[in-house]
């Protein structure tokens, strides 16, 4: 994309054929509904419209009217405006005598022939653009525009948005099929924009889409919304969904934000910021911003100073790109509005309707506004009865990464298409690689095995359409068109969390389908081991009883990467290389330790929220000294040990002066998750606690930082992974709420086997009678003491018969690797059935 592109037409339209999904409202603070009264046969003010008026004013306008009427009293702000009804569109066609010629052109169209489709669309649009607006329709439009202007200190710009009457039905999303025009000023420009909107009902993509979905072209009419522009060119704007767009997880609001007018976010012209907010505890007054990811936000779309009739993209200064586009308070305000809107739009069964919402922040008044809201039409239609999981069975060289969309895997030859002008070159089954997409690309997107774009976030056009089509996509790769060679066969994997990978070559993969209706629930709680927060929402959809082991190590090594003591000592660091690495990772943080707290809290919160209100048991950091030393700056703080496996690790670190300050940061992060975000389902677990006294010292250290056992329901667990934990289980039970058996370390220490040594590896076996005897002993002690006892080690994931042994001993819970949950659940059910028959 050029560094500055200018959009110019008589109506001040966009530079490209960007989507009809638009945003942006006012120029001055007086933006709320004016309720000017009925303006005639073809005009309705937003304050007169309700959701039942879709046949008259289309989905977008009906939704805007509904929010003006029903949600303004609850604080939701919608810019003022009016709708030109679908009757106005039909009136134009009738008066201009266009119905017959248009029908004739469409009757002989082959929509699969892209050249013929282009020719047909051009001819129909030319007919409509060449028609004269009926005098009565034109008069009503101008009268309403005068009324909208009245009482404002300056001449205002308006957004002119198409609103189709069949828009956003439960089985089809018409988002982006028609046009939107921004910053339209003056009467002549307004009339030109309206004529162009009417013509856009017959864009190539709209014609193709209606044919694919089986809609009669003449049963879909077009209404137009005329809305005061929000000066987000001086602030920020974006899109939000009231569910996770990838997994369909219903309890999160996903917000994308960038500077300037929101078209860049919708079109995928920039990589926006991304924020997740947890709905259940937001509604109880907490501040649950689960995750904040800063986007590159390379450009912003603004009004051109050349007369105010144009918009253009300009570069964003580097300092602003590194900052979040909106504040935490604004993130939370948008999320609250999203919840209000979702709760207002209830489905047939009385359930909240997941929504796709566009918002804008006005520069002059600093206020937020909702400029569009419609039902989400992809994830909300999926059934939860069958879970489908894609799993790679091999790996290859990674060519490029980006944001994953679709949770699927596909392979095919790379086809780099530079612009929509060349879509005719695309061959079915290829991997479409381009800079970004807009609705003009849709005729070939449905033919692609996968889609890769340089730009865009997970709410951009490419992401939305690929989800609807069931095609995996990776957006925001930045350099995909440069890196991926034309014709090279690649595998596109969107099944590994938020990050999507393009691998060299055609890699093997499998699709696991599980019918949840056939799976019962055992008495023994079946929990999961979860390390990657990016996978948490998806994993939560597998039948489960919570998380038996969430690991801090993955979050620290993947998202933080810096030793906590190096952050605390940042001002005293003398190694310029280390300091430079820290500066890059902590951009925007003057308080370097706070970076550790925030990132750790966000990673843990994603897991705790995904499984809320079920228990999520987090094991506090359990790196060995050599692993801590590998973190940035870590070598200066860690001793060299001959056997780190049984050295300075786990509980021994937390109260030791060598790491006390680092542990304090961990505690601050946990307080943030439980108290600020309200995720009190988070339980904490102490690893490698050698003695009862050590357990007391750790708890005393935690209390210093606001984590007291029993306070706000906080439960503390201990890993049972040392023989002393078994032998003194009754004493440990006095100071801990529960135990989780770590079968790997416990087996190692019972059998005296270094599990990292390939020479004695054959001796390492959790099924050894000595190990099973110790496990049976600790289960019996915990049951006698009324303490919870579970297992989070590898054994039951690897050996279903070991899980059956545990059931026979009366264990409370078994925590498994996600990919073994279904198989092992079946084994547990069988074991419980046999026990019942024997009793």
Cβ partners under 8 Å of residue 520, min gap 6: 829
Instruction: Look up 712 and say whether it is catalytic.
Output: no
Tokens linked to 259? 């500077």
Q: How far is CA 777 from CA 687, 701, 784, 806, 812, in A?
A: 20, 30, 11, 11, 14
CB 149 within 8 A of CB 229: no
Q: Pick the catalytic residue: 460, 461, 563, 689?
A: 461
Q: Pick the catalytic residue: 494, 667, 689, 792?
A: 792
Q: Which residues of 217-251 are buried (b: 16+ CB within 10 A; e: fewer)?
A: beebbbbbbbbbbbbbbbbbbbbbbbbbbbbbbbb
CA distance 755 to 5: 60
- Reported residue count of the chain is 839
Q: Which of 553, 595, 51 is nearest to 344 (CA)?
A: 51
Instruction: Look up 461 and say whether it is catalytic.
Output: yes
Tokens linked to 231? 């000066």
By CB atoms closer than 10 A (0-12, 13-18, 19+), residue 319 is: exposed
Q: Per-residue DSSP letters for 294-306?
A: -----EEEEE-TT
Instruction: Give the dihedral sign, CA 324/325/331/335.
Output: negative
Beta strands 473-475 and 450-453, pairing class: parallel
Q: Per-residue DSSP letters for 610-667?
A: HHTTS-EEEEPP---HHHHHTSBTGGGT----S-GGGSS-THHHHTSTTTHHHHHHHH
DSSP 8-class letter at 559: I
DSSP 8-class letter at 335: H
Cβ partners under 8 Å of residue 429, min gap 6: 412, 413, 447, 448, 449
Q: What is the dihedral of CA 495, 496, 501, 503, to 10 degrees?
A: -80
CA distance 268 to 138: 35
**Catalytic residue positions?**
461, 792
């Amino acid at each position: 994309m050029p560094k500055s592109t200018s959009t110019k037409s008589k109506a001040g339209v966009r530079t490209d054929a960007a989507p009809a999904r638009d945003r942006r409202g006012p120029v001055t603070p007086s933006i709320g509904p004016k309720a000017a009264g009925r303006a005639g046969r073809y005009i309705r003010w937003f304050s007169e419209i309700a959701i039942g008026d879709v046949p008259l004013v289309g989905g977008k306008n009906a939704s805007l009217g509904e929010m003006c009427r029903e949600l303004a009293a609850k604080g939701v702000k919608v810019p003022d405006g009016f709708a030109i009804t679908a009757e106005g569109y039909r009136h134009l066609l009738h008066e201009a005598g266009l119905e017959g010629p248009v029908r004739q052109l469409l009757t002989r169209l082959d929509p699969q022939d892209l050249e013929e489709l282009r020719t047909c669309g051009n001819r129909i649009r030319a007919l409509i653009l060449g028609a004269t607006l009926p005098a009565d329709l034109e008069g009503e439009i101008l009268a309403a525009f005068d009324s909208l202007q009245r009482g404002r200190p300056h001449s205002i710009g308006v957004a002119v948005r198409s609103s189709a009457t069949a828009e956003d039905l439960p089985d089809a999303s018409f988002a982006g099929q028609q046009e939107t025009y921004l910053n339209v000023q003056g009467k002549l420009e307004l009339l030109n924009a309206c004529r162009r909107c009417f013509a856009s009902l017959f864009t190539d993509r709209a014609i193709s889409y209606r044919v694919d979905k089986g809609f009669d072209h003449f049963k879909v009419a077009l209404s137009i919304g005329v809305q005061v522009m929000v000066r987000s060119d001086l602030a920020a704007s974006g899109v939000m969904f009231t569910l996770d767009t990838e997994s369909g997880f219903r309890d999160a609001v996903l917000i994308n934000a960038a500077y300037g007018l929101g078209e860049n976010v919708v079109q995928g012209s920039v990589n926006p910021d991304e924020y997740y907010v947890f709905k259940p505890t937001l509604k109880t007054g907490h501040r649950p911003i689960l995750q904040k990811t800063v986007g590159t936000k390379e450009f912003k779309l603004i009004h051109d100073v050349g007369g105010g009739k144009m918009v253009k993209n300009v570069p964003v200064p580097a300092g602003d790109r590194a900052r979040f586009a909106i504040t935490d308070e604004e993130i939370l305000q948008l999320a609250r509005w999203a919840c209000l809107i979702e709760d207002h739009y209830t489905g047939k069964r009385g359930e909240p309707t997941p929504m796709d919402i566009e918002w804008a922040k006005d520069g002059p008044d600093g206020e937020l506004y909702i400029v569009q809201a419609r039902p989400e039409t992809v994830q909300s239609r999926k059934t939860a009865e069958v879970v489908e999981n894609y799993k790679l069975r091999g790996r290859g060289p990674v060519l490029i990464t980006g944001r994953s969309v679709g949770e699927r895997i596909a392979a095919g030859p790379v086809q780099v298409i530079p612009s929509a002008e060349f879509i005719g070159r695309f061959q079915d089954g290829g991997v479409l690689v381009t800079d970004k997409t807009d609705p003009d690309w849709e005729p070939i997107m449905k033919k692609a095995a996968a889609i890769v774009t340089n730009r865009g976030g997970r709410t951009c056009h490419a992401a939305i359409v690929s989800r609807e089509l069931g095609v995996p996509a990776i957006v925001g790769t930045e350099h995909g068109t440069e890196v991926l060679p034309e014709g090279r066969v690649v595998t596109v994997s969107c099944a590994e969390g938020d990050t999507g990978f393009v691998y060299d070559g055609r890699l093997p993969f499998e699709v696991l389908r599980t019918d949840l209706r056939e799976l019962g629930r055992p008495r023994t709680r079946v929990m999961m081991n979860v390390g990657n927060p990016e996978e948490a929402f998806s994993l939560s959809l597998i039948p489960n009883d919570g998380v038996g082991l969430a690991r801090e190590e993955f979050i620290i090594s993947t998202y933080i990467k810096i030793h906590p003591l190096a952050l605390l000592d940042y001002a005293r660091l003398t190694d310029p290389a280390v300091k430079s690495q820290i500066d890059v990772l902590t951009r925007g943080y003057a308080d370097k330790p706070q970076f550790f707290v925030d990132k750790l809290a966000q990673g843990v919160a994603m897991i705790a929220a995904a499984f809320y209100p079920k228990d999520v048991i987090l094991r506090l950091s359990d790196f060995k000294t050599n692993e801590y030393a590998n973190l940035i700056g870590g070598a200066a703080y860690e001793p060299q040990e001959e056997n780190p496996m049984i050295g300075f690790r786990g509980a021994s670190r937390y109260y030791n002066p060598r790491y006390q300050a680092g542990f304090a940061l961990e505690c601050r992060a946990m307080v943030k998750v439980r108290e600020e975000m309200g995720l009190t389902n988070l339980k904490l677990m102490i690893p490698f606690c050698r003695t009862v006294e050590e357990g007391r010292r750790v708890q005393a250290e935690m209390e210093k930082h606001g984590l007291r056992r029993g306070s706000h329901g906080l439960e503390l667990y201990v890993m049972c992974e040392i023989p002393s934990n078994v032998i003194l289980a009754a004493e440990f039970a006095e100071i801990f709420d529960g135990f989780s058996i770590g079968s790997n370390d416990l087996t190692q220490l019972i059998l005296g086997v270094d599990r990292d040594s390939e020479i004695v590896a054959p001796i390492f076996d959790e099924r050894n009678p000595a190990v099973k005897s110790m496990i049976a002993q600790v289960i019996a002690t915990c049951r006698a003491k009324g303490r919870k006892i579970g297992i989070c080690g590898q054994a039951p994931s690897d050996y279903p018969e070991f899980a059956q042994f545990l059931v026979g001993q009366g264990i409370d819970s078994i925590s498994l690797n996600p990919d073994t949950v279904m198989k092992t659940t079946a084994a547990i059910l069988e074991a419980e059935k046999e026990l019942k028959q024997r009793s």
